[in-house]
Amino acid sequence: MNSYQEDKCQSQINALYECCNAFYIERGEDAKTPSCPKPSLLRLRMKQRDQKHS
């Protein structure tokens, strides 16, 4: 049984997205890191998050 509840991790997910966004701003969209989604996906996820929490 899967007991994963995203809401319990939301603050960590938000922090990761903010960190990744800063990474791409500083290094450019061609920068790569295994910890972050690609820039286009990151923007989509951040937009979805903002819509969900507004």
Q: Give, for all 54 residues of the chain, the pLDDT tens digit.
A: 678 787 889 999 999 999 999 999 999 999 999 999 999 999 999 999 888 776
Question: Rounded distance, CA 20 to CA 34, Å?
Answer: 10
C-alpha distances (whole Å) from 42 to each of 1, 2, 19, 26, 54 are: 29, 25, 11, 15, 18
**What is the pTM (predicted TM-score) of this model?**
0.81
Question: What pLDDT, on a 0 to 100 scale, did the predictor assign at position 31?
Answer: 97
Sequence ranges of the domains in the chain:
9-52
